[in-house]
Amino acid sequence: MHDLSDGLARFRRDVFPTKAGLFAHLATTHRPTTLFIGCSDARVVPELITQSEPGELFVVRTAGNLVPAHAPDPDGVAASIEYAVAVLHVRDIVVCGHSACGAMTALAEEHDLSAVPVVSGWLRHADAARARVAAVPEASGPDRVAALVRANVSAQLRNLATHPSVARALAEGTLTLHGWVFDIATGAVHPVDATAIAA
């Protein structure tokens, strides 16, 4: 906690004064234009990657950047999506996977997840991506992980499109979906064809 406390002190001393006007505006205004759905991985920081200011991104982070398909029971991810689309009227949604993703590595390499049953259950939301990559037997090792990362972004875009608020906004032409893969080692961001949601 010492490092976090130091960071808070630096923020108040060095950063906040330079952005005091922005924070005064944000105190009464919340109008992000993009919902960014990324992985919980500490190495993947949406605001840093996109160089966004506070207030520009509405961020949801989950292990494996997974988006459960719409279901009748409410959950935190679905509630955040609905709020971003139906209330905040974001114009874009980004689903961002990344290189060396622990969740995708565990699935690609078939790790034993019996000691983490909640994680194991959560990762079932990547089953469609696993099935797609399994149909390409020549992918192996790091190539298999990379293929699964990309396939997973496509699968999560498809899941996202099952949410009623998203489906409505897509039909009305007020929302655009984007798939990205962030390469940690190079800083490059590679697009994943969002038309894959129809596949």
**If 0-12 CB within 10 Å is exposed, 13-18 middle and 19+ buried, where does residue 182 land?**
buried
Does an H or E element contain 36, and which? strand 34-39
Please state, in angstroms and as integers, the Cα–Cα distance from residue 160 to each residue in 112, 116, 151, following that order. Answer: 28, 26, 14
Rounded distance, CA 86 to CA 78, Å?
Answer: 12
Do 95 and 179 touch, CB atoms closer than 8 A? yes
Does an H or E element contain 11, and which? none
Q: What's the chain's Rg over C-alpha atoms? A: 18
Question: How many other CB atoms sit within 10 Å of the CB of residue 65?
Answer: 31
Rounded distance, CA 182 to CA 189, Å?
Answer: 4
Residue 13: DSSP 8-state: I
Active site members: 39, 41, 43, 98, 101
